[in-house]
Amino acid sequence: MEMIEKLIDKNEIRLIDLKYCDLFGRWYHITFPTRRLDKVMSEGIPFDGSSIQGLKSVESGDMVLMPDINTASIDRFSEQPKLSLICSICDADSRLGVKKDPRSVATRAHDYMIKSGIADESLWIPELEFHLFDEAEYYSDKYESGYLLSSSENKESLPPNYEDVDATAQADRKGYHMDIPFDKFAAVRDEIITTFEDLNIKINYHHHEVGLSSQQEIETELLAFPKIADDTMYMKSIIRQIALEYGLTATFMPKPIYNEAGNGMHYHILLKKNGKNIFYKKGGYADLSDEALWFIGGMLKHGRALTALTNPSTNSFKRLLPGFEAPVKLFFGLANRCAAVRIPKYANKEDTKRFEFRTGDAMCNPYLAMSALLMAGIDGIKNKIKPADHNFGPFDDNVFNWPQENQDKLLSIPKSLDEALDALIDDHNFLLQGDVFSKELIDNWVDHKRKEIAKVNNRTHPYEFVLYYNQ
């Protein structure tokens, strides 16, 4: 508290903003004057959980927001000096994190890992991919439906009345690492990552991604879970707000543009025990330990179910197609970008040895996605799931050059969100271990996502007019 009080006095802060996350990864907030800080820190702030998607029923709606003092930061977007704190959603009686609070799930997953004796620290790198568009319009009702995206970087999608008089808009090329002046929004990314660094979210680098219509990537350093889940929520919010300051709009949709590269959120994972990387063993395949291979085996064995949490939108599965460096087969390999789990060849030292889960995207709730991946890996270690026993590799070549008969022997990720939810229903016991996830949370998740699917499937798609209007 002393540190926060000094921060408040130094910056003349009069308002404190509490943020919390619903089941599906959206942030909410409530603000109070600083004079009430002591009371709120000890008692929390009550709210109606029945009004937040996925939390509670009307009959038992009373919940309490309990702030985490370790998440304190200055809100750089507020007109008045304001302090921001992230909260856990707690039961009104016990003040303990409720079963369906995503942040509490992440805390329980971390505690379960420690109690298992496998590791006492997990470090993660999320790779955030997103688009910055000059304009984004969309609409959908009974008589009209469509969207319009524009990018001043791409000659095929220039904004209305944008004449490209400096001839810097590009065509017929990939945007990967595109240099200035063609990378028009490098300064936007510069401001984004300096804001991250001010919040002690340490960044490896940022660059233009493959998509020519202003696709971006920002990658962090290895950061500790569960704090990195908090950081991911901050990062997504900051990206959106800084984009708006520049007259742009940011989206993390996995596949906003047909036939162009989509946005993933790859996770690099490393576990430590007593300060030592348990995934490193010199001399094994890619210098991986048995624990690393078992962890990978757990992720791949439960990979189909995991996609219901790591790729939880109907749009997610429009990205997961062959030909766009998006994994569609569940196997692992060294430096293999068509693998669901890639072993980075450059991470070849004891303190950096790790692997990358490439399937996920930023539609996920980071608390739930990372917790689920951790639980799958722990299950793999506990049950010594060897990838080779399940035809999960390692495979270091492009499997899509194999004969079709051999490709068909590989386990595929689901082809749709509906199929992913079916997989989660059939395979979720590994999530229930240690009471980390609950059956009620999973049931609510599946029920809500089925309703999303119905909303999409029941509507006429604009391309159906191209196919069928005059048939």
- What 3-state DSSP class applies to 413? coil
Q: Does residue 171 share a domain with residue 84?
A: no
State the Cα–Cα distance between residues 249 and 133, nearest whole angstrom.
5
In a domain, 335, yes or no: yes
Does 356 participate in catalysis according to the annotation?
yes
Q: How many domains does the chain contain in total? A: 2
In a domain, 116, yes or no: no
Catalytic residue among 266, 304, 342, 428: 266
Q: What is the CATH number of the domain that holds 280?
A: 3.30.590.10
Q: Calculate ∠ Cα 9-10-15, nearest 5°.
A: 55
Domain identity same for 88 and 155: no
Q: Catalytic site residue 127?
A: yes
Distance between CA atoms of residues 408 and 392, nearest Å: 13
Domain end marker among 64, 98, 132? 98
Given 22, 129, 260, 361, the catalytic residue:
129
Q: How far is it, in rounded angstroms, from Cα 357 to Cα 361?
A: 10
- Collect all residues with Cβ–Cβ distance below 8 Å to 357 and sequence separation of at least 6: 266, 267, 269, 299, 310, 340, 341, 373
Q: Structure tokens of 71?
A: 């998440």
CA distances from 124 to 79, 303, 309 (A): 33, 18, 17
- pLDDT tens for 224-235 read 999 999 999 999
What's the whole-number mean pLDDT along residues 125-150?
A: 96
91, 153, 183, 356: the active-site residue: 356
- Residue 153 and residue 21 in one domain: no
Q: What is the DSSP string of 110-142?
A: HHHHHHHTS-SEEEEEEEEEEEEESEEEEEE-S
| Three-state DSSP state, 373 | helix
Q: Is the pLDDT of residue 4 over 90?
A: no
- The yes-or-no verdict on residue 59 having pLDDT over 50 is no
Assess whether pLDDT exceeds 60 at residue 60. no
Write the CATH number for 43.
3.10.20.70
Max distance between CA atoms of the chain, in angstroms, equals 72
Task: Report yes or no on 320 lying in a domain.
Answer: yes
Cα–Cα distance, 66 to 92 (Å, whole number)? 10
- Catalytic-residue membership of 5: no
Domain identity same for 65 and 179: no
| CA separation, residue 275 to residues 119, 123, 272 (Å) | 9, 11, 6
CA–CA separation, 310 vs 361, rounded Å? Answer: 6
C-alpha dist (Å) from residue 126 to 39, 211, 251, 366:
35, 19, 16, 9
pLDDT at 365 over 70: yes
Rounded-to-integer distance, Cα 303 and Cα 184, Å: 37
Same domain (yes/no): 86, 165? no
pLDDT of 56 strictly over 70? no
Residue 456 shares a structural domain with residue 389: yes
User: Residues 89-102: pLDDT tens digits?
Assistant: 998 888 888 999 99
Report if residue 314 sits inside a domain: yes
Among residues 41, 67, 98, the one where a domain terminates is 98
Q: Is the peptide bond before 394 cis (omega within 30 degrees of 0)?
A: yes
Least confident of 59-63, 111-115, 426-430: 59-63
pLDDT of residue 61: 63
Q: Rounded distance, CA 434 to CA 389, Å?
A: 27
| Residue whose C-alpha is closest to residue 233's, from 124, 125, 55, 362 | 362
Q: Say whether 129 is catalytic.
A: yes
Range of the domain at 424: 121-468
In a domain, 457, yes or no: yes
- Is the model's pLDDT at 251 over the cut of 70? yes
53 lies in the same domain as 161: no
Phi first, then psi: give them for residue 89, nearest 5 degrees.
Answer: -95, 120
What's the average model confidence in pLDDT over 197-217?
96
Does residue 81 share a domain with residue 15? yes
For the ranges 308-312, 395-399, 462-466, the lowest mean pLDDT is seen at 395-399
Please compute, for residue 162, the number of CA atoms within 13 A of its CA located in the half-sphere on the CB side. Answer: 18
pTM across the whole model: 0.95
Is the pLDDT score of 392 beyond 90?
yes
User: Is there a catalytic annotation at residue 12?
Assistant: no
Catalytic residue among 38, 43, 48, 426: 48
DSSP 205: E
The fraction of the chain above a pLDDT of 90, given in percent, is 87
C-alpha dist (Å) from residue 297 to 108, 278, 374: 22, 15, 12
What amino acid is encoded at 330 in this protein? L
Please identify which residue in the block is written with the tokens 């490098």: 186
**Which of 121, 217, 291, 379 is labelled catalytic?**
217
Average pLDDT on 313-324 reads: 89
Q: Mark whether 41 and 175 lie in a shared domain.
A: no
Angle separating helix axes 290-301 and 303-310, nearest 10 degrees:
70
Average pLDDT over residues 20-25: 94
- Looking at the domain assignment, is residue 182 inside a domain? yes
Tens digit of pLDDT for each residue in 253-293? 999 999 999 999 999 999 999 999 999 999 989 999 999 99
Q: Is the pLDDT of residue 1 over 90?
A: no
Please pick, among 75, 358, 379, 428, the residue that the annotation labels catalytic: 358
Q: Note whether 343 and 308 are same-domain residues.
A: yes
**223 bridge partner residues:** 124
Instruction: Give me the catalytic one of 127, 153, 183, 291.
Output: 127
Mean pLDDT, range 189-207, rounded to an integer: 97
Between CA 115 and CA 433 the distance in angstroms is: 12
Is 106 part of any domain? Answer: no
- Listing DSSP states for 59-113 in one string gives GG-EEEEEE-GGG-EE-TT-SS-EEEEEEEEEETTT-PBPTT-HHHHHHHHHHHH
- Give me the DSSP letters along 174-203: --TTPPTTTSTTHHHHHHHHHHHHHTT--E
Domain membership flag for residue 173: yes
Q: Give the model's pLDDT for residue 415.
A: 95
Category of 12 on φ-ψ map: left (φ > 0), alpha (ψ -120 to 50) or beta: left
